[in-house]
Amino acid sequence: MKGLAVTRRLKPAEIGDAAALLRAGERVAFPTETVYGLGADATSDKAVAGVFEAKNRPSFNPLIVHLPDAAAANELAVFSQDAERLAEAFWPGPMSLVLPLRAGHGLSALVTAGLDTVALRVPSHPLARELLSLVGRPVAAPSANPSGKISPTTAAHVLDGLSGRIAGVLDGGACEVGLESSIFGGDPLRLLRPGGVTAEAAEAVLGHALAQAELSPETPNAPGQLTSHYAPDVGVVLDVSSAGDVPHLGFGPREATRNLSMSGDLIEAATNLFAMLREMDQITAESDADHFTVAPIPGEGLGHAIRDRLSRAAAPRSG
Ligand code: TXA
Ligand code: MG
C-alpha cells in the first residue's frame, strides 16, 4: 500500500481514466444501482489482493465479479436452467448468482477464495456498464467500505472510509436501490443474501419455490456473512416504535430524528438506509446517548433485506 496516495475523485466524463487505472491494476471505486463497489481487475492476483488490503477484509471472504452483460458472465460460469431464468429476468440489475466456475475462467483464485463457485453480477447503472465495457475484463468489486462498516451509497461515503487507500472514485451521485444485490446460489437455488430482488419476485419468475436457506449466525449462509456488519460506531437498538430520550430513526408518519420514509415506502427506506445510518451514528456520537433506536420495519418485500442489514448493524461486535 502506498502510504501517501491521493485518491482521485473522477467525474463521469473521466470514465476513460477510471478504466485505464483498473486495467493498470489499480483499485477504483465506482457507482452501481445498489451501492458503490471497490473495483479491481478480477484476473490479477495483485489487483485483487489490493482490494482485500484496502478494505481490511478477511481473505476467506470471496468477492462478486461484475460484467457488462450475461454473455460475458456465461464465459466464466455454468448456468443451470433456473439460474438462466433469473439472469434473463433480473440482469442487468440488483442480483448476483453464485455458480460453478467454468474451466479456463482466468479469474484470480483470490476472487473466489479458492471455492469452485463464483458470484457474478451484471449491474444496471449506466456508468457501471460503460466502465465494465471499457475495461473489457471481469471486475471484482465488493462494497467500497472498510470491512464490517456501513456500505457507501455516495462518492463522499467512499472517500470517508477509503481515501488514500484507493486510486480513485468515479462519482455517479447517490445509488438508487441503496442495498446490496440479492445473492442466489446452489442447485436447487436458494437465497443466500436478501437484497434488491426479493425472494417472491424470484419465485414468480421460476414458477416454483426457492430451496430453504439454512440461515443461522453460526453457519453463515455465504462465507463472510458475519453477524456484525454495517456497524455504526455507536449502539443500535431495533424495533422501537416511537422516539424517546435517544436519537430515533423512524419509518412512517411519526416524529423522529431522521425518517427512512415518512409515507412508509420500503423502496424509499432502502434507498435512504445506509446514508441515514451514517447520519444517526454521527448525531448520536455528538449527543449524550450511547445508542440510537430504529422503528420496526415490516418483514415483507424489500423489508426483509432492510431488516437483515439492520440486525447486522445492531449485532454484538466481535471487535
Ligand atoms: O450490490 C452488491 O452486490 C455490491 C455491489 C458493489 O455490486 N457488492 C457487494 O459485494 O456487496 P461484497 O463483496 O460486499 O459481498 C459479496 C458477498 C459476500 O457475502 C460473499 O461472501 C458472497 O457475496 N460470495 C461471493 N462469492 C461467493 C461464493 N462463491 N459462494 C458464496 N458466497 C459468495
Ligand atoms: Mg459489503
pLDDT at 319: 47
Going from the Cα of 33 to the center of ligand 1, the distance in angstroms, rounded, reads 15
* 3-class SS of residue 110: coil
d(CA 296, CA 302): 14
Ligand number with the minimum distance to the CA of 309: 2
d(CA 180, CA 166): 21
User: What is the bridge-based pairing of β-strands 168-170 and 248-250?
Assistant: unpaired
Contact 47, 41 (CB under 8 A): yes
- Closest atom of ligand 1 to CA, residue 123: 7
pLDDT at 318: 59
In which order are the strands placed within the sheet that holds 235-237?
235-237, 291-294, 248-250, 258-259
Q: Closest residue (by CA) to atom 32 of ligand 1?
A: 222
Query: What would you measure as the largest C-alpha separation in the chain, in angstroms?
Result: 59
Contact 194, 304 (CB under 8 A): yes
Residue 218, sorted as left (phi over 0), alpha (psi -120 to 50) or beta, turns out to be alpha
Say if residue 62 is preceded by a cis peptide, omega within 30 of 0: no
User: Minimal CA–CA distance to 314: which of 285, 294, 288, 286?
Assistant: 294
pTM to 2 decimal places: 0.91
pLDDT in tens, 16-56: 999 999 999 999 999 999 999 999 999 999 999 999 999 99
pLDDT at 59: 74
* Residue spans of the chain under pLDDT 50: 1-2, 215-221, 223-224, 226, 319
pLDDT in tens, 102-130: 999 999 999 998 899 999 999 999 999 99
10 Å CB burial of residue 255 (0-12, 13-18, 19+) is exposed
- From the CB of residue 3, how many other CB atoms can be counted at a distance below 10 Å? 6
Residue 265, sorted as left (phi over 0), alpha (psi -120 to 50) or beta, turns out to be beta
Among 183, 193, 309, 312, say which to mutate for ligand 1: greatest number of ligand atoms within 8 Å of CB: 183
Going from the Cα of 192 to the center of ligand 1, the distance in angstroms, rounded, reads 10
pLDDT at 220: 43
pLDDT at 169: 98
Ligand 1 neighbours by CB, cut-off 6 Å? 32, 34-35, 37, 61-64, 96, 98, 112, 115, 117-119, 121, 141-143, 180-181, 183, 185, 192-193, 222-225
d(CA 288, CA 286): 7
- Closest atom of ligand 1 to CA, residue 111: 26
pLDDT at 231: 85
- Closest atom of ligand 1 to CA, residue 37: 6
Residues 6+ apart with CB under 8 A from 145: 55, 151, 152, 157, 158, 161, 162
d(CA 146, CA 144): 7
Alpha-carbon separation of residue 208 from 85, 198, 200 (angstroms) = 12, 14, 10
State which H helix or E strand residue 23 sits in. Answer: helix 15-23
pLDDT at 214: 58
Ligand number with the minimum distance to the CA of 184: 1
d(CA 249, CA 76): 42
